[in-house]
Amino acid sequence: MEKAGNKKNELQMVDFFCSAGGVTCGFNQAGINVLGGIDIDPICELTYKNNNNAKYLCADVSDLDKSLIAKIFKIKRNQDNLIFVGCSPCQYYSNIKTDKTNSQNTRLLLDDFREFVDYYRPGYVFIENVPGLNKNPESPLGRFKTFLSAKKYVFEDSVINAKYFGVPQNRRRYVLVATRVKTAIHLPKEDKKHIKTVHQAIGDPVKYRPIEAGTKDATDFIHTSANLTCINKRRLSQTPFNGGSRTAWTNDIQLDCYKHHGGHTDVYGRMCWEKPSPTITTRFCSLSNGRYGHPEQLRAISLREGATLQSFPENYVFYSQNQGVIAKMIGNAVPPLLAKAIGEAISKNYLYG
């Protein structure tokens, strides 16, 4: 009889829409053999390959020959030990009220991913997206769930928060795990007793030394912070430490659009040491895009601080000279510790049902 410990190592994964490798990093930590990732963006290739020792296929899944990935990743159809991950770009489905024109071409990526699942019939499937993903039966998600049931997959889905899985960040996401090789599958259980704070994550003054706005760190640690205009330095200097907001500003530096508007107080705000951070978006390095001010220093959080709040290992290297590109790679990622929890739940299911 095969030993359970050996069976775990048989799990293999292909990471669709892999970006810089958040899911891949977490699945590696869970002991799953990641064969490689697929993404349309060539900018992510070095970061993905060099950190994860995995293949990177730069391609658009919308017109990718399905048989090609069998040759590249050495997979077969109907593999019980194979996991397909499809965490597609999510801007089109976001609850944030923004213009969706530029992201409409991403709205059918889940349909494209479904075709690969249909062709290969992997033993397991994992998808992650924003909570606003429409569950209507005629929506891409509705069609995907109907497809899974028709193909004899069982699944569990829910909106969960990454802060309950070791990620020092308040990040709500829709997740779904599915299998066709077991009679049931479950999402990992939330741990609401051990929530990691901003201070626990980035509060070490030796590792995350005090820096000024505009500091550029040329090392792989990228403790780099965006510059601030004079007026924004004045605004942040009037923002109370440890969770303060723009409501404390004097009227002469208040933004006109907020002088008679009480909402959006997170904008230009500071993070709180003793809470998880707000959601790390692709623009977390900019003070004007959310509560991304350092709890005490006169700056927005650095690139490395954002990566740490996303739960990337501190030795994870992001290959680009462009701060905006790195911030996008970090903000778009599935937090590795959340992915690790999902990977462990799949491994447990594969071993024990």
Which residues on adjacent β-strands are paired with residue 270? Answer: 293
Over the stretch 298-312, which tens digit does the pLDDT of each residue have? 999 999 999 999 999
Over the stretch 214-229, which tens digit does the pLDDT of each residue have? 999 999 999 999 999 9
Q: Which residue has the tokens 């990622």?
A: 333
What fold characterizes domain 4-194+335-352? Rossmann fold (3.40.50)
State the chain's mean pLDDT as an integer: 92
Query: Of 136-145, 274-283, 303-312, 337-346, which gets the smallest average pLDDT?
Result: 136-145
Stretch 278-294: mean pLDDT: 96
pLDDT value at residue 97:
40
pLDDT value at residue 140:
87
- pLDDT-derived band at 292 (thresholds 50, 70, 90) equals very high
Query: Of 38-42, 73-77, 87-91, 243-247, which gets the smallest average pLDDT?
Result: 87-91
Over the stretch 13-31, which tens digit does the pLDDT of each residue have? 999 999 999 999 999 999 9
Predicted confidence (pLDDT) at residue 5 exceeds the cutoff of 70: no
Predicted confidence (pLDDT) at residue 8 exceeds the cutoff of 80: no
- Say what percent of the chain tops pLDDT 70: 90
Contacts for 68 with CB less than 8 Å, ≥ 6 apart? none
Which one from 18, 25, 90, 285 is the annotated catalytic residue?
A: 90
pLDDT value at residue 132:
78
Over the stretch 150-171, which tens digit does the pLDDT of each residue have? 999 999 999 999 999 999 999 9
Secondary structure in 3-state letters for the chain:
CCCHHHHHCCCEEEEECCCCCHHHHHHHHCCCEEEEEEECCHHHHHHHHHHHCCEEEECCHHHCCCCHHHHHHCCCCCCCCEEEEECCCCHHHCCCCCCCHHHHHHCCHHHHHHHHHHHHCCCEEEEEECCCCCCCCCCHHHHHHHHHHHCCCEEEEEEEEHHHHCCCECCEEEEEEEECCCCCCCCCCCCCCCCCCHHHHHCCCCCCCCCCCCCCCCCCCCCCCCCCCHHHHHHHHCCCCCCCCHHHCCHHHCCHHHCCCCCCCCCCCECCCCCCECCCCCCCCCHHHCCCECCCCCCECCHHHHHHHCCCCCCCCCCCCCHHHHHHHHHHCCCHHHHHHHHHHHHHHHHHC
**Is 90 considered catalytic here?**
yes
Predicted confidence (pLDDT) at residue 316 exceeds the cutoff of 90: yes
Over the stretch 62-116, which tens digit does the pLDDT of each residue have? 999 999 999 999 999 999 999 999 998 864 433 334 443 444 444 589 999 999 9
**pTM, to two decimals:** 0.92
Q: Which residue has the tokens 């990743």?
A: 73
Give the start-to-end residue ranges of the domains of the chain: 4-194+335-352
List the structure tokens of 309. Answer: 């709040």
